[in-house]
């Protein structure tokens, strides 16, 4: 693959704290290699800002290999940017050409307040898990792992749902700021396994209640979440969630 | 003398005897005892969940925005366990033996045997939590093979095993949060340990959102803060991985064990330029099916596809016929470096070798055609079917490679090169995982204990979870049983005050330098010194030079550092500055340790000590010990030796030929 350098214009959301109202600021960046990752371009820009005595742009990132779920930027209106099934940290600059202007914002949702610049507070996701996103088994209680065979397709489907990285792009992509794809991935992961069966009903009821309490919006089945998800979590999980919820509502005492 | 407190008796009975005789804390007393856990990766999250379940009052801390982000999540290939589900000759002893041998006879027998014993329980526990491991059509668990072993004992979830295990531990942790047994502090970083009457009694940490310093008391403190590979700047670690928690504890009296033992992983995506911020691993599991080669001709610039079969050098298969592409990591890394240094490297930088899937794709394609009962299948169809099989096994890794390099690994061989991946060294701990500070424990990658001079693949996840789920819940009781009369100490105690003031002063000093060099630029320089002189190959001259350069760098850091922003706000540059300050000091100790160890073993390769064939040459007569370093003053350490006694295994020259 041919490498090239480019000059770009970035329009970045700056907000000093939760209380600040925030604004876009424009930064030119020069000599960006097509081999850089998007976040490495931010590193270059931040080094320049620091040298010029300016405040660098705060953004969340950690593993930089697409699995920790920490990075979170809306790029030209798309959470995680233009590539399909991708996180910002894995987006590389060969996606852009010399002279491009790129607009970068934080996740926008009431349940994800901005802490600084592009950094948001996603602790609401942890609280949804606390409401029931687990199997209640204390350490030491387990039987032999092969005592309970699980059909391969079910195990595979459960894994596909469990691949969610909890980044919140689904919420950022949704016009209603709904967390249904995130929640449905966890409900599916556990409902598809026999181990998850005893708590099936309470789990879905409690998790949905917590989601509503956190201020996430409702789902209108648009599918923007699935289209954006870096791990390609399927919309069919939301169908399963609705089914689980209905079943639990109808049969709970 | 360092006492590792290894229980007496035959190796296979030590852990059983220990558990049968250690002291217990009754449930009513557990409710009154507070435990602090720093770090929430596999070791920390599993410990927090397990101790919470037992009834202790747990406070857990992580610098990320959620415990689910810890870098354990990035582990790809799998987790070992001596289940022998494959009936291929595995056993607890075999896993123990492979780990001791893989570690080049620099690990403790007692610890490693315990690790092998509890390995099977880990798999059971994870399956019960709903970890969706790969399964066969009969519904039973699937296994794959990994480097340094000849059995299939690795359990996996595609190339995302660490993610699935961490999510399991994270969910168990969040359940305890919901039950009120664990209080979770995210975006918090530990910056000092608090000692009272010689015992660890708490921590000072900084809230990374508003910059406030906080004091937290605990009857005991568990450090589960991971490895320090980022001392090399470029590594496969996450950007935030750091040594601060263990380094501050080291300076407060905890000995540091084998700091120079670093694992350089053979299969990573090569550096593409100066902008590089981190390196990405391609799972060792890829060596199961992939073949590693370079051209037989030096400086061969042909495309890989244009180089005919008889002009390729499958150097691992050539040098190590018994293990082939599955030799341990240290051996594979050095072999790649040797070829590249000799001028056979590929790609634009010439610092890379090929990892080729063409043969595997064809083989799987033929098997698939056979399964479907198809005859007279065209070569294209076979390759298409083979690609599907490879996609199912390694799809996410291949996708990642393509995103980073822009090349399609289904069509052209991947280019790989070794990179810093894991640190076997860490705080010295005894059999109970306690450091030399009473009440201060260290678990997972942060301690030095189980992997000797080289860790085998799929053993890090095993160790982290073993420590957290099955070891510390027992051993901590043995200490806390004597502490049930100790009431919670108020954080107004002078020791907390002094520790907080020390942190405050350090931060103020860093912020007031107002020099000209950024944290990042200083970190990069440290990384280059470490990689060039304390990396895959080391020698006395280079190490001495490195120490002088690091001391100079430290001076520049404390006189010319530039940090933007303020103290009482979210300030990632300030967070990073504190971590780099500690990396600089640790780097010096690593070089000192590497200089002291005048032998080669595992990942530690001293050029002066090698066999005629270029393999690591140990000196068991002089160096059969753990080097445990005590911090004395700036640039000054005292060496303590824990002599390793091998009762069961007879150390020999490792051979994978």
CATH, residue A164: 1.10.1060.10
In the block, tokens 């004597």 appear at B482
Cβ neighbours of A214 (radius 10 Å): 18
Q: What is the pLDDT of residues B360-380, one digit of tens each?
A: 999 999 999 999 998 889 999
One domain for residues A130 and A243: yes
Contact B124, B146 (CB under 8 A): no
One domain for residues A142 and A247: yes
Of A60, A139, A190, the CB nearest to B130: A190
In the block, tokens 């001076």 appear at B555
One domain for residues A216 and A157: yes
In the block, tokens 């996603």 appear at A122
In order along chain B (657 residues), what is the average pLDDT of each group of 10 residues? 94 97 97 98 98 98 98 94 97 97 96 98 98 96 87 92 98 98 98 98 98 98 98 98 98 98 96 93 88 96 95 96 91 94 93 96 95 91 95 88 94 96 98 98 97 95 98 98 96 98 98 98 98 96 98 98 97 98 98 98 96 93 98 98 96 86
**Residue A157: both structure tokens together:** 């489907």
One domain for residues A143 and A216: yes
- Three-class secondary structure of residue A55 per DSSP: coil
**Residue B323: both structure tokens together:** 């293990």
Interface contact B564-A53, CB threshold 8 A: yes
In this model, does residue A252 exceed pLDDT 80? Answer: no
Report the alpha-carbon distance of residue B47 to residue B351 in Å, rounded.
41
Cβ-Cβ contacts under 8 Å, A86 against chain B: 403
Of A54, A123, A133, the CB nearest to B186: A123
Residue ending a domain, choose from A92, A116, A140: A116
* Angle between the N-to-C axes of helices B92-102 and B109-129, in degrees from 0 to 180, rounded to the nearest 10: 120
Interface contact A70-B69, CB threshold 8 A: yes
In this model, does residue A93 exceed pLDDT 90? Answer: yes
One domain for residues A229 and A246: yes
Cβ-Cβ contacts under 8 Å, B569 against chain A: 16-17, 116
- Give the minimum alpha-carbon distance from A217 to chain B in angstroms, rounded to a whole number: 22
- Per-residue pLDDT, averaged over A4-13, amounts to 98
CATH, residue A37: 3.10.20.30
Q: Which residue of B has its CA nearest to A15?
A: B570
One domain for residues A86 and A137: no
Instruction: Give Cα separations from B548 to A218, B529, B597 (angstroms).
Output: 62, 10, 18
Cβ-Cβ contacts under 8 Å, B406 against chain A: 1, 92, 94
Cβ-Cβ contacts under 8 Å, B123 against chain A: 145
Interface contact A158-B132, CB threshold 8 A: yes
Of B172, B238, B570, the CB nearest to A134: B172
Residue ending a domain, choose from A62, A82, A116: A116
One domain for residues A133 and A207: yes
One domain for residues A245 and A129: yes
Of B74, B164, B403, the CB nearest to A63: B74
Residue ending a domain, choose from A90, A116, A142: A116
What stretch of H or E contains B555?
helix B540-560
Cβ neighbours of B305 (radius 10 Å): 10
Contact A80, A39 (CB under 8 A): no
Interface contact A143-B128, CB threshold 8 A: yes
One domain for residues A91 and A10: yes
- The residues, any chain, with a CB within 8 Å of residue B310's CB and separated by 6 or more, are none
- Give the minimum alpha-carbon distance from A107 to chain B in angstroms, rounded to a whole number: 14
Report the alpha-carbon distance of residue B170 to residue B29 in Å, rounded.
26
Q: Which residue of B has its CA nearest to A158?
A: B132
- The catalytic residues of B are 329
Report the alpha-carbon distance of residue B146 to residue B86 in Å, rounded.
14
Cβ-Cβ contacts under 8 Å, A83 against chain B: 403
Cβ-Cβ contacts under 8 Å, A67 against chain B: 73-74, 160, 163
The domains found in chain B, sorted by start residue, are 266-419 (3.90.700.10), 501-617 (1.20.58.100)
Q: What is the pLDDT of residues B407-458, one digit of tens each?
A: 999 999 999 999 999 999 999 999 999 999 999 999 999 999 999 999 999 9
User: What sign does the CA torsion over B2, B8, B13, B17 have?
Assistant: negative
Please report the pLDDT score of residue B146 as a whole number.
Answer: 82
- Give the minimum alpha-carbon distance from A78 to chain B in angstroms, rounded to a whole number: 18
- Per-residue pLDDT, averaged over A128-136, amounts to 98
One domain for residues A26 and A71: yes
**Residue B226: both structure tokens together:** 């991971």
Report the alpha-carbon distance of residue B268 to residue B358 in Å, rounded.
19
Complex confidence, ipTM: 0.98
**Residue B417: both structure tokens together:** 């090169």
Report the alpha-carbon distance of residue A155 to residue A159 in Å, rounded.
6
Contact B454, B265 (CB under 8 A): no
Banded model confidence at residue A1, pLDDT cuts 50, 70, 90: low
- Give the minimum alpha-carbon distance from B72 to chain A in angstroms, rounded to a whole number: 9
Q: Which residue of A has its CA nearest to B124?
A: A145
Nearest residue to A216 via CA among A182, A248, A247: A182
Please report the pLDDT score of residue B442 as a whole number.
Answer: 98
One domain for residues A101 and A202: no
Contact B235, B420 (CB under 8 A): yes
Of B53, B64, B163, the CB nearest to A62: B64
Range of the domain at A59: 5-116
One domain for residues A100 and A135: no
Q: Which string of DSSP letters, residue by residue, matches B523-550? A: HHHHHHHHHHHHSSSB-HHHHHHHHHHH
Instruction: Work out how many domains chain A is built from and give that number.
Output: 2
Asked if A69 is an interface residue toward chain B (Cβ–Cβ < 8 A), one would say yes
Contact B231, B586 (CB under 8 A): yes
**Residue B498: both structure tokens together:** 């002094």
Give, as one character, the DSSP assignment of residue B466: I
- Three-class secondary structure of residue B519 per DSSP: helix
Please report the pLDDT score of residue B147 as a whole number.
Answer: 78
């Amino acid at each position: 693959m041919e490498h090239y350098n480019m000059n770009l214009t970035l329009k970045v959301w700056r907000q000093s704290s939760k209380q600040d109202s925030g604004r876009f600021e424009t930064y030119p960046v020069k000599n960006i290699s097509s081999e850089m990752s998007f976040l490495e371009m931010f590193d270059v820009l931040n080094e320049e800002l620091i040298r010029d005595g300016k405040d660098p742009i705060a953004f969340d990132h950690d593993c930089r290999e697409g699995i920790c779920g920490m990075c979170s930027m809306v790029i030209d209106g798309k959470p995680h940017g233009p590539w399909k099934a991708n996180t910002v940290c894995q987006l590389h600059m060969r996606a852009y050409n010399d002279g491009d202007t790129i607009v970068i914002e934080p996740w926008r949702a009431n349940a994800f307040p901005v802490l600084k610049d592009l950094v948001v507070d996603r602790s609401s996701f942890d609280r949804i898990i606390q409401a029931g996103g687990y199997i209640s088994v204390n350490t030491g209680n387990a039987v032999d792992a092969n005592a309970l065979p699980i059909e391969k397709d079910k195990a595979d489907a459960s894994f596909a749902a469990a691949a969610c990285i909890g980044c919140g792009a689904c919420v950022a992509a949704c016009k209603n700021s709904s967390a249904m794809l995130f929640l449905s991935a966890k409900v599916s992961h556990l409902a598809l396994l026999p181990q998850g069966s005893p708590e099936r009903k309470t789990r879905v009821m409690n998790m949905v209640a917590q989601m509503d309490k956190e201020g996430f919006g409702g789902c209108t089945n648009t599918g923007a979440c699935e289209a954006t998800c870096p791990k390609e979590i399927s919309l069919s999980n939301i169908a399963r969630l609705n089914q689980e919820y209905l079943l639990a509502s109808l049969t709970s005492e | 003398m360092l006492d590792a407190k290894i229980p007496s008796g035959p190796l296979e009975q030590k852990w059983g005897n220990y558990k049968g005789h250690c002291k217990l804390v009754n449930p009513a007393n557990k409710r009154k005892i507070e435990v602090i856990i720093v770090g929430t990766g596999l070791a920390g999250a599993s410990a927090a969940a397990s101790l919470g379940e037992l009834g202790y009052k747990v406070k857990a801390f992580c610098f990320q925005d959620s415990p689910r982000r810890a870098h354990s999540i990035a582990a790809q290939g799998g987790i070992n366990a001596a289940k022998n589900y494959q009936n291929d000759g595995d056993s607890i002893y075999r896993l123990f033996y492979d780990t001791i041998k893989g570690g080049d006879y620099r690990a403790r027998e007692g610890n490693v045997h315990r690790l092998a014993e509890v390995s099977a329980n880990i798999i059971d526990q994870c399956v019960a939590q709903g970890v969706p491991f790969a399964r066969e059509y009969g519904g039973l668990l699937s296994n794959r093979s990994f480097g340094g072993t000849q059995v299939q004992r690795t359990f996996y979830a595609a190339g995302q095993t660490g993610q699935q295990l961490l999510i399991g531990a994270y969910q168990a942790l969040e359940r305890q949060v919901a039950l009120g047994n664990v209080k979770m502090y995210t975006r918090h970083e530990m910056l000092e340990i608090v000692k009272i009457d010689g015992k660890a009694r708490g921590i000072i940490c900084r809230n990374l959102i508003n910059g406030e310093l906080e004091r937290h008391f605990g009857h005991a403190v568990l450090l589960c803060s991971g490895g320090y590979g980022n001392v090399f700047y470029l590594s496969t670690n996450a950007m935030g991985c750091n040594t601060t928690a263990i380094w501050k504890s080291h300076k407060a009296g905890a000995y540091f064990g084998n700091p120079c033992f670093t694992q350089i992983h053979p299969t990573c995506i090569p550096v593409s330029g100066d902008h590089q911020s981190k390196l990405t691993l391609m799972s060792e599991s890829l060596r199961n099916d992939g073949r590693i080669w370079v051209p037989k001709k030096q400086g061969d610039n042909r495309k890989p596809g244009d180089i005919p079969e008889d002009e390729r050098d499958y150097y691992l298969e050539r040098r190590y016929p018994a293990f082939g592409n599955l030799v341990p990591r240290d051996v594979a890394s050095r072999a790649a470096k040797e070829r590249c240094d000799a001028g056979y490297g590929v790609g634009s930088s010439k610092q890379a070798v090929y990892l080729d899937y063409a043969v595997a794709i064809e083989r799987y394609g033929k098997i698939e055609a056979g399964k479907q009962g198809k005859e007279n299948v065209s070569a294209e169809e076979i390759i298409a079917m083979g690609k599907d099989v490879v996609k199912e096994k390694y799809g996410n890794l291949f996708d990642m490679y393509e995103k980073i390099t822009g090349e399609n690994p289904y069509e052209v061989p991947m280019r790989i090169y070794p990179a810093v991946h894991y640190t076997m060294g860490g705080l010295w701990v005894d059999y109970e995982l306690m450091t030399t500070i009473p009440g201060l424990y260290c678990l997972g990658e942060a301690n030095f204990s189980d992997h000797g001079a080289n860790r085998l693949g799929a053993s890090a996840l095993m160790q982290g979870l073993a420590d957290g789920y099955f070891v510390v819940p027992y051993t901590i009781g043995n200490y806390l049983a004597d502490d049930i009369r100790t009431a919670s100490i108020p954080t107004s105690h002078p020791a907390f005050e002094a520790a907080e003031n020390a942190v405050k002063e350090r931060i103020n000093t860093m912020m007031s330098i107002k020099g000209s060099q950024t944290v990042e630029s200083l970190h990069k320089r440290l990384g280059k010194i470490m990689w060039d002189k304390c990396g895959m190959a080391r020698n006395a001259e280079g190490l001495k030079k490195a120490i002088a350069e690091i001391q100079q760098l430290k001076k520049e850091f404390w006189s010319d550092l530039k940090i933007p922003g303020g103290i009482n706000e979210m300030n990632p540059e300030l967070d990073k500055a504190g971590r780099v300050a500690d990396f600089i000091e640790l780097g010096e100790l690593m070089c000192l340790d590497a200089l002291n160890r005048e032998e080669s073993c595992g990942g530690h390769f001293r050029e002066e000590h090698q066999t005629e064939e270029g393999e690591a040459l140990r000196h068991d007569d002089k160096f059969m010990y753990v080097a445990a370093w005590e911090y004395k003053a700036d640039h000054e350490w005292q060496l303590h030796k824990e002599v390793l006694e091998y009762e069961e295994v007879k150390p020999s020259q490792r051979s994978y030929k």
